[in-house]
Amino acid sequence: MKLFKIIYYIFIASIAAIAVLLVVSVFPITGNYKLLVVQSGSMEPAIKMGSVVIVKPIDDYQINDVITFVNPKKRQELISHRIVDLEVSEGGTFYITKGDANEDPDARKVVKDEVIGKILFSVPYLGYAVDFAKKPLGFASIIIIPAAVIIFDEIKKIFKEVKKKKEQRKT
């Protein structure tokens, strides 16, 4: 019985954490921390595919920083790569980036205005749960499964009370 309660509370806490991550990833606050899911393996082994990363804009990016920037070809797509070199010219600051798993630097230099922020840390594989929660089945699971567990637990308590009352009447 005690094991069931421990599992129950761990499960509820996990669902709550995924729900919070889902809300944070859907409603990012401009100019502040963003929670993103890594969609490719270009930064492995440092950042695994399916990781959740926390990104924060800063004023000054340096060589070796892992930054997230907008893909100029697909504006909705973000790329996270390491800065391997900087170029400062009259046109501004340009970053030469490269994925750790890639052999060559990216063909295109990244303009500072395209940078979303620096990756502060990552949590491997948690992104799969966040992505699942963004889908209709996953979102429904976040609501239906915990509700079913709570209802089941309450029904069990009601039956115990009814049984207890019946036994008290017999005596």
Q: Per residue, what are the HEC states of 15-54?
A: HHHHHHHHHHHHCCCCCCCEEEECCCCCCCCCCCCCCEEE
Angle between helices 126-134 and 136-170 (to 10 degrees): 90
Domain-located, residue 139: no
Neighbours of 131 (CB within 10 A): 16
- For the domain that residue 50 is a member of, what is the CATH number? 2.10.109.10
By C-alpha distance, which of 32, 49, 51, 33 is closest to 41? 49
**Residue 74: inside a domain:** yes
Alpha-carbon distance of 155 to 23, in angstroms, equals 31
Q: In the prediction, which pLDDT does 22 show? A: 64
Note the pLDDT of residue 27.
Answer: 64
The continuous run of DSSP H or E covering 160 comes out as: helix 136-170
Please give the residue range of the domain that contains residue 127: 2-134
Kindly write down the DSSP assignment for every residue of 92-148, as one continuous string: EEEEEEE-TT-SS--SSPEEGGGEEEEEEEEETTHHHHHHHHHSHHHHHHHHHHHHH
21 belongs to a structural domain: yes
- 115-123 and 66-70 beta bridge pairing: antiparallel
Residue at 140 is within a domain: no
User: Would 111 be classed as within a structural domain?
Assistant: yes
State the pLDDT at residue 30.
Answer: 59
pTM: 0.68
Tens-binned pLDDT, residue by residue, of the chain (171 aa): 677 778 878 877 877 777 776 666 666 555 677 888 899 999 999 999 999 898 989 988 999 999 999 987 888 889 999 999 999 888 788 999 999 999 999 999 999 889 999 999 898 988 888 788 778 888 777 778 778 878 888 899 999 999 988 888 876
In a domain, 151, yes or no: no
Strand, coil or helix: 66:
strand
Output the pLDDT for position 97: 96
Count the domains in the chain. 1
103 found inside a domain: yes
159 occurs within a structural domain: no
